[in-house]
Amino acid sequence: MDELPLPASAHPQAFRSLAPAVHRGSTVVFGSMAEYGSRRERFYDGYSYGLYGTPTSRELERRIAALEGATRSFVVPSGMAAITLVTLACAGAGGRVLFPDSAYDPVRTLATTLLAPCGVEVAFYDPLIGRDIACLLTPATRLVWVESPGSVTMEVQDVPAIAEAARLRGVRVAADATWATPLRFRALAHGADFAVNAVSKYLNGHSDVLMGAVSVREEALYRRLRDMARALGHGVSPEDCALVMRGLETLGLRLDRSEATGLRLARWLAARPEVDAVLHPALPSCPGHAIWRRDFTGASGVFSVVLAAWTRPRLPAVVEALRHFAIGASWGATRSLVAPIDPAPARTAVPWTAGGPILRFSAGVEDAAALEADLAQAFALFGPPPRDPINVVRVESTR
């Protein structure tokens, strides 16, 4: 050990590769006393400590910023960490934050375990509220969250209308745009101040990394996020950043494939007697479909179906008979997934009234015909629908 010299340079100039370099490091070392003394000046842009960024994390942030049309992007350890970070960066004691009733479920735990004890009030609103959000903006409101579409019930929100109403009142807007990815919906261009993506889903896309990203246009917001993340001790591993950059290389290909397969499966399911409603933003049966057509450049491969109530007893056998769809709650990767989800207990603003269970599907990149055949063999196990229509509660609308 005594014989080991200090590294000459972390940047070998003569080696050029298409793969981004993985720069590991907790300690950052300095060439002089003066450089060390002024390291805090390099907190936002240079390097002062491994936790505050490495050349690998900064390269990933540059690439995500380019996708989002942002000035700055910032990566954190998970999508949930990104949601918490943005919320804490905007609202302190006495502040109020609004979430759509369709929001990613763990935000309810954020509201009760962290925000409420810190004196931040949280309210949930009808995701289809549009410009009437103005009625819910009190002088204490600091932040409005949108999640469009909601990742279980798929309501597409009028983000420009909500953002405009909030902007007129000086209220910030944060968008969880994980379903669409920046390739299908650029949240900043539609009026949001913060674009959040759970990188764990499509951006990485291989079910093996947890990460979140926040993108902004305003430098002041970026600095505020960095300061808050420093207090929370957030940092990401350079290996994970390199894996995400590998995933980003095929994001467009994967998304095109998942979109096409998802639509094929959604249309197949829509024609089934077991299915009461297909909640896919690209289909007219989805609440907010017209807004999706106006604001989005395409779909991803995630959608839900509301099954008829009579399917309930056979549902476990059917789901477990699927051979290509693993049962799992995450989504947006190469493998197809299915998740039975009941949104009703979580809802507080708009009751969820559909009588039957929900299955959420995430179409992967497998052969679409094989996936459809898999659904067909499993759905056959439901058996014929009950004969007496009087005993069947048909839900025409999910609202």
Which spans of this chain sit near ligand PLP (rule: CB under 6 A)? 78-80, 104, 147, 151, 176, 178, 198, 200-201, 210, 212
Query: What is the distance between the alpha carbons of residues 67 and 341, in angstroms, rounded to a whole number?
Result: 31
Of 202 and 352, CB closest to ligand PLP:
202
- Closest contact distance (angstroms) between CB of 210 and ligand PLP is 5
Q: 383's torsion region: left (phi>0), alpha (psi -120 to 50) or beta?
A: left
Q: Is the peptide bond before 149 cis (omega within 30 degrees of 0)?
A: yes
Residues 6+ apart with CB under 8 A from 17: none
Q: Which residue is nearest to ligand PLP (CB)?
A: 79
Start-to-end Cα distance in the chain: 68
- As measured in angstroms, the least distance from the Cβ of 147 to ligand PLP is 6
Handedness of CA 43, 45, 51, 55 (dihedral sign): negative
Closest CB 177 distance from ligand PLP, rounded Å: 8
Q: Which residue has the tokens 């009234």?
A: 353
What is the smallest separation between the CB atom of 155 and ligand PLP, expressed in angstroms? 13
| Cβ proximity of 221 and 193 under 8 Å | yes
User: Do residues 103 and 124 lie in contact, with contact meaning Cβ atoms separated by under 8 Å?
Assistant: yes
CA 135, 112, 362, 59 dihedral sign is positive
Q: Which is closer to ligand PLP, CB of 184 or CB of 201?
A: 201
- Min CB(90)–ligand PLP separation in Å: 17
CB of 273 to ligand PLP, least distance (A): 30
Report the greatest alpha carbon distance in the chain.
86
DSSP annotation of 380: G
CA distance 330 to 278: 20
CB of 200 to ligand PLP, least distance (A): 4
Closest CB 219 distance from ligand PLP, rounded Å: 25
- For the CB of residue 196, give the shortest distance to ligand PLP in the complex, in Å: 7
Closest CB to ligand PLP among residues 100, 238: 100
Nearer to ligand PLP, 28 or 86 (CB): 86
Q: From 145, 109, 138, select the one nearest 124 (Cα to Cα).
A: 145
- Residue nearer to ligand PLP on the CB measure, 203 or 242: 203
Q: Quick one: 73 or 151, whose CB is closer to ligand PLP? A: 151
Nearest residue to 178 via CA among 224, 143, 226, 145: 145
Query: Nearer Cβ to ligand PLP, position 178 or 258?
Result: 178
Interatomic CA distance for residues 276 and 20, integer angstroms: 48
Q: Which is nearer to ligand PLP, 201 or 226 (CB)?
A: 201
State which amino acid sits at residue 260: A
Nearest to ligand PLP of 172, 360 (CB atom):
360
Name beta bridge partners: 216.
Answer: 72, 194
